[in-house]
Amino acid sequence: MIYTYYINVTQFENEELFQEKLNLLSPYRQQKIALLKHEKDKSRSLGAGIALDHALETYGLRERGIEYEFGEWGKPSLKYQQSIHFSLSHSGDYAICSIGDKPMGNDIELIKPGRLKVADRFFAKEELEWLYEVQNEEEITERMFRIWTMKESFLKATGKGISLPLGDFAVVMNKDKEKIRVKHTFNAKYYHLKEYSEIAGYRVAVCCEESRDAAYSMIPIVF
């Protein structure tokens, strides 16, 4: 089972709540938050930490009690609980954490117009063909963020991050059933993609390694 927890970080504008939740987290996460300059970025990073804390509770763990290690390209993992995999992301007013028993990546993006130049520069040929099949600008923008979040989640799932060029692989949409697959030559592994649209105005994607039959669930965090 792959669980994705999500939290609205605007509540951390309350200084008392911010400090209360900050005290629940590890020195590593606290320092990471302290180094950020903008209050909104601090709230997002806190939200990601709290989402991870909630996710770890399902395994009888807490974020404050775990130790991190980092891959060659900077991907964080649990040093002493290597059968547990997680991924964090944040955008706009939300932070998310996905957790499960397979290597994974996730991404959340606030949908904003005027980002098509990014697609033209970084998307693969197959992705651009699907993107511009429609004429409505709003639908094109929606498709752009669908592809973008899936590409980002795939990059994070591989552990390579942005060291793997965005044009070297493609998110391919089946035109009949919109079944999604990743076309790549990076390795021989299969990667499963799952999309969420539960949060209005945002796109969320989770990519999990070798989990064709994995079940997925998205869970809000409410205090």
SS3 content of the chain, % helix, strand, coil (to 5): 40, 25, 35
The C-alpha atoms of residue 18 and residue 193 are separated, in whole angstroms, by 33
Q: What CATH number has the domain bearing residue 89?
A: 3.90.470.20
According to the model, what pLDDT value does residue 172 have? 84
Residue 10 three-state SS:
helix
Q: Which residues of the chain have pLDDT under 70?
A: 163, 175-179, 188, 211-214
Give the pLDDT confidence of 138-161 residue by residue, as tens digits: 999 999 999 999 999 999 998 877
With beta carbons less than 8 A apart as the criterion, state whether 108 and 153 touch.
no
Q: What is the pLDDT of residue 176?
A: 57
Residue range of the domain that includes 49: 2-220
pTM over cut 0.75: yes
Task: Report how far residue 90's alpha carbon sits from residue 7's, in angstroms, rounded to the nearest whole number.
Answer: 9
Rounded distance between C-alpha atoms, residue 183 and residue 17, angstroms: 44
Count the domains in the chain. 1
A 10 A CB-CB count for 105 gives 28
Task: Give the model confidence (pLDDT) of 25-45 as tens digits.
Answer: 999 999 999 999 999 999 999
